[in-house]
Amino acid sequence: MPQDFDAARAKSQEVLNLIEKKSLTDDEREKVIAESVKYWTDHVNPGFLQYRKSVSTDYTAVEWDDNGAVFRDLAGNEFIDMLGGFGIYNVGHRHPKVLKAVRDQLDRQAIHSQEMIDPLRTYLAHLVSLIAPGDLQFSFFTNSGTESVEACLKMAMLTTGRRHFIGTKGAFHGKSLGSLGGTSKAIFREPFLPLLNWTHLPFGDIDALAMTFDCTDFTGDRIAAVILEPVQGEGGINVAPPGYLKAARELCDKYGAVLIFDEIQSGMGRTGKMFACDYDGVTPDLMALGKGFGGGVMPIG
């Protein structure tokens, strides 16, 4: 469509006015629903709407507000968020303490310049070191979980000088080009092959992991890192069997590989402990965080 800055300014103001409204009339609700469907079809992903039609009832559900364990559509229907936003809402939707902290900070400064030391970044890094397993000390902050995985993979490559990674069947580590290699489903991977050098093994099979290490050490195609979810999310909530994480730790130490735990979905208290790996008392070399790490209001990893 042609550039139209006047139309963009007018629509922007309309949207700002909409955000400020505490309630909507019936006509306004119908307008928002109709425009949401149109703009999603025209500018986002029309295929997704076809999918939604296959799983929804005969009305169009458009999210509008949320709090605690529920979110609501424009018709006022309440939905219990049984997924917790796939691990985003560990403390619920719009937790008042989280919102207050964010608002207080925005009233003072939104984004720091990066030319000077940002004290809140240092405080956050210190807090992460206090809750992290073992002696994990340093933080590298990102905008998402998949970026966190990418950072871990790059660090493993720099540390070992190797380019071969081990993942597991059923794993999901993201869809950006690097982390996509660790994600195991063909439907996500096939359109972008070839990816980095990945070998996928059955989750929980320590014998397969030991054999792969032995073979790659013999051939010289040595492993840079093993990445594991202590609890697989996308794969079906598969919990690592007893002793698996510990044995993986020992094999990585033996062969000079980096052990990465992806705690993006299982971390930040979602399993009852701060991190799922705490149940086994195993410390990785690198750990990826995201989703619930942002308190349900900010993208951070």
Residue 275 and residue 144 share a domain: yes
Counted domains in the chain? 2
* 21 in a structural domain: yes
**Token digits of residue 296:** 């349900």
Structural domain for 75, as ranges: 5-80
* 299 in a structural domain: no
Mind listing the pLDDT tens digit for each residue in 173-217? 999 999 999 999 999 999 999 999 999 999 999 999 999 999 999
* 233 in a structural domain: yes
The closest alpha carbon to 252, from 244, 263, 262, belongs to 244
The CA R_g of the chain, rounded to the nearest whole Å, is: 22
Residue 233 and residue 128 share a domain: yes
Domain with residue 34: its CATH number is: 3.90.1150.10
pLDDT of 14 > 80? The answer is yes
* 274 in a structural domain: yes
Residue 171 and residue 276 share a domain: yes
pLDDT of 58 > 70? The answer is no
List own/partner pairs for 75-83 with CB under 8 A and 24 or more apart: 75/29
Mind listing the pLDDT tens digit for each residue in 121-161? 999 999 999 999 999 999 999 999 999 999 999 999 999 99
Q: What pLDDT does 130 receive?
A: 97
pTM over 0.85: yes
* 284 in a structural domain: yes
Domain with residue 287: its CATH number is: 3.40.640.10
Residue 125 and residue 74 share a domain: no
The closest alpha carbon to 73, from 90, 55, 56, 87, belongs to 56
